[in-house]
């Protein structure tokens, strides 16, 4: 794996501009929805078909708990939410600043072995989260 800072080439997609604004806008719309309407009454298609929770089960409730200052409750509802919020809280300002000021961007290059490890770690993490939710009786 290699990481370096570099300017975008003319034909390269500006991921920071795209995803920074997508995440920031989604977060603001989600916060506005929760403030005005409350938690949405969602029906998980996976749970409706199988009776089992999906790996994202409880994410909305975990976000509401986290926004209410209940970190322990958020972690119990879905342990992936607080770390994901921390990552997004770092990514959005970075993305908006480098896109707005046309600064060099951080680019990470993964070789075949790195991609294989990333796939296994991601799969194991998703499986562990799913097993936690099933064992917790969701």
What percentage of residues in the chain have a pLDDT greater than 70? 97
Spans of all domains in the chain = 14-135
pLDDT per position as a tens digit, 69-124: 999 999 998 999 999 999 999 999 999 999 999 999 999 999 999 999 999 999 99
Three-class SS string for 2-50?
EEEEECCCCCCCCHHHHHHHHHHHHHHHHHHHHHHCCCCCCCCHHHHHH
Instruction: Quickly state the pLDDT bin for 41 (edges 50, 70, 90).
Output: low
pLDDT per position as a tens digit, 112-124: 999 999 999 999 9
Indicate the pTM of the whole model.
0.77
The pLDDT, as a whole number, for residue 31 is 85
């Amino acid at each position: 794996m290699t990481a370096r800072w570099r300017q975008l080439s003319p034909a390269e997609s500006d991921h920071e501009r795209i995803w920074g604004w997508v995440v920031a806008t989604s977060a603001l719309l989600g916060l506005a929805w929760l403030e005005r309407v409350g938690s949405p009454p969602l029906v998980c298609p996976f749970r409706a078909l199988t009776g089992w929770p999906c790996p994202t089960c409880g994410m909305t409730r975990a976000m509401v708990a986290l926004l209410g200052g209940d970190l322990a409750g958020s972690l119990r509802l879905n342990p992936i939410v607080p770390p994901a919020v921390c990552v997004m809280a770092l990514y959005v300002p970075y993305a908006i600043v480098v896109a707005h000021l046309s600064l060099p961007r951080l680019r990470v290059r993964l070789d075949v072995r790195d991609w294989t490890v990333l796939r296994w770690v991601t799969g194991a993490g998703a499986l562990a989260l799913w097993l936690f939710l099933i064992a917790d009786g969701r």
